[in-house]
Amino acid sequence: MSVPRRPYVMLVVLFLLVIGCSAGAVQTSDPAAPRGAAGSEGSAAPPRSVEPLRSPAVIPGLGPRTRAQIPATARQAVVVTGKGPDANLSSVVLHSLDDPALGWRPGAGPWPAHNGMEGWTDHHVAGDLRSPVGVFGLTDAGGRLPDPGALLPYDEQSRFAVSGEGFLGEPLEGSFDYVVAINYNRTPGTSPLDRERPLGEERGGGIWIHVDHDGPTQGCVSLTEDRMRELLLTLDPAKNPVIVMGDAASLAR
């Protein structure tokens, strides 16, 4: 006698339904999602690297106190670094700030230079034969020779002529053929020859960048004639140029 087949068929159908529900329960991601995506089969994509933010570049060798003295409007800086507090040899580099996001960049130099016979001081007085340490504006130029194309106001005067000998017996003639006045104890916007001394005569004055005579100065900074000409063609009053000057240890503060 044959066994009815209906109960067996019902058991098979029920088993298939259970298996189908279980398979659907373990599907946790979109089947159409690409392999390697989060939650799908395969490893996750590696994280993207993030480049660290860079601070704007600062002028090398200058400490926080010196940097704080540079006006926020300055876009050119002539940096004169003395070899020592009592040395009269120094090095000059012209820096520019064309993009504040990038910071200061060297543009010309290093150029060899001379400074005061006895070195540097943070309290210059007349006759001490030392160059003043600090940050000073550069607003006016002049010289015995015709204007080479200076961007700063240029005063051509025969009174820039000089004669005699320097500390090493070297001739001084031609030293003031080109000059840039350093705004130490002077009135900006006047000829380098102007004699007004806002701090008083005892604090000295007439501190310039001028043509080198192969020897130390009485307090000025001196460069070779070709470098002076280059400086005059580069310093731009629209960029509010300054000079940062002193021995290395003082500038690092």
pLDDT tens digit sequence for 166-210: 999 999 999 999 999 999 999 999 999 999 999 999 999 999 999
The answer to whether the CB of 211 falls within 8 A of the CB of 224 is yes
Domains (ranges, CATH) in the chain?
64-251 (2.40.440.10)
Window from 19-33, 56-70, 114-128, 154-168 with minimum mean pLDDT? 19-33
Instruction: Give CA separation, 188 vs 36, 229, 248, in Å.
Output: 69, 21, 27
Which residues pair with residue 108 across a beta bridge?
94
Residues annotated as part of the active site: 210, 220
pLDDT of 54: 77
Rounded CA-CA distance 178/225 in Å is 8
pLDDT of residue 248: 98
Residue 36: band (very low, low, confident or very high) from pLDDT cuts 50, 70, 90: very low
State the pLDDT confidence band at 51, using cuts at 50, 70 and 90. Answer: low
Amino acid 88: pLDDT? 98
Which residue's structure tokens are 């599907």? 27
Helix (H) or strand (E) holding 67: helix 64-69
CA–CA dist 1, 50 (Å, integer): 80
The predicted pLDDT at position 78 comes to 98
Q: Are 191 and 157 in contact (CB under 8 A)?
A: yes
The pLDDT, as a whole number, for residue 62 is 98
